[in-house]
Amino acid sequence: MTAMRCEEIISRLEKEYPLTSAEDWDNPGLQVGRRNREVRKIFVALDATEDTIREAVEWGADLMITHHPLLFHSIKKVNDDSFIGRRILTLIENEITCYAMHTNFDVLGMAQLNEDQLHLQNAHVLDVTRENEGVEEGIGRVGDLEEPVTLHDFAVDVRRAFGLSTVRCYGLHAWQEEEEQADQTEEDDVRITRVAVCGGSGKSMIDKAIEEGAQVLVTGDVDYHSAIDAIAKGLYIIDAGHYGTEYCFIDYMTRKLEKLFPECRVKGARIMQPFTVI
């Protein structure tokens, strides 16, 4: 198996997903390790957690590429007293370089993936963050459905599209799903035609979605008060979870890296929600 330099891989990725596309508060890029590291095996994960790092170590990875950065804030010590320190030490001790592509990928990759998952028509950027040669780029998408559906049926479609066992739908009450409920409700009469989607944590996109005429926002990490306030403003919320809306990164990036770097072996982390619904 032919080895590549880590810096060659990073250079190719940053050409397509430049760090300048990331949000100012973000910290994508090389997190841990040497740029001149020889790479034969690339491991892809959403996060650099104890579980995914262990997977990478057991597989013998040289480079770990994640969506979320391992390091968001400065740290004063690297030791085994903190979980971040332990993760860094495990990576270094096993000679694994760690690289993250976060909001730069959100802008130039994730938004399109989410749009494709929901089969949105006539879609455009939900929150424009920059222009590149006259083309608007940014977070999320807003577009139309192929045909109108009820809120309940759309929630089911989202659950299937994202490969999830559950989603949380604000605006659809539990009692409305009971078969014995004969009376039609206002929500039953609603036909969803226009949708906004934002992978990850998207409650900050609520007002943008409303401005764009969306009837529902599909995202993750929406707290109770933000959700019920959104309903009061006329916007339904389908919370498919942070992991649920973004784990598509693993399969997409695995396949992309296999094409870009046939010299290397590439493996994606196991798909595993970080919680269990009891």
Question: What architecture (CATH level 2) is domain 105-240?
Answer: 3-Layer(aba) Sandwich (3.40)
Mean pLDDT for all residues in the chain: 94
pTM score: 0.93
- Looking at CATH, the fold of the domain delimited by 4-101+246-268 is given as 3.40.1390
Q: Contact 2/263 with Cβ under 8 angstroms?
A: yes
Q: How confident is the model at residue 173 (pLDDT cuts 50, 70, 90)?
A: confident
Residue 160 pLDDT greater than 50, yes or no: yes
Q: What is the pLDDT at residue 177?
A: 53
Q: What is the pLDDT at residue 180?
A: 44
Determine the Cα–Cα distance for residues 271 and 178; give it in Å rounded to an integer: 32
Closest CA to 253 of 125, 101, 50: 101
Determine the Cα–Cα distance for residues 78 and 237; give it in Å rounded to an integer: 40
Q: pLDDT tens across 182-210, in order?
A: 455 555 568 999 999 999 999 999 999 99
Q: What value does the mean pLDDT take over residues 79-103?
A: 98
- The residues spanned by each domain of the chain are 4-101+246-268, 105-240
Two domains, one topology: 4-101+246-268 and 105-240: yes
Q: What is the pLDDT at residue 220?
A: 98
Q: pLDDT tens across 234-270, in order?
A: 999 999 999 999 999 999 999 999 999 999 999 999 9
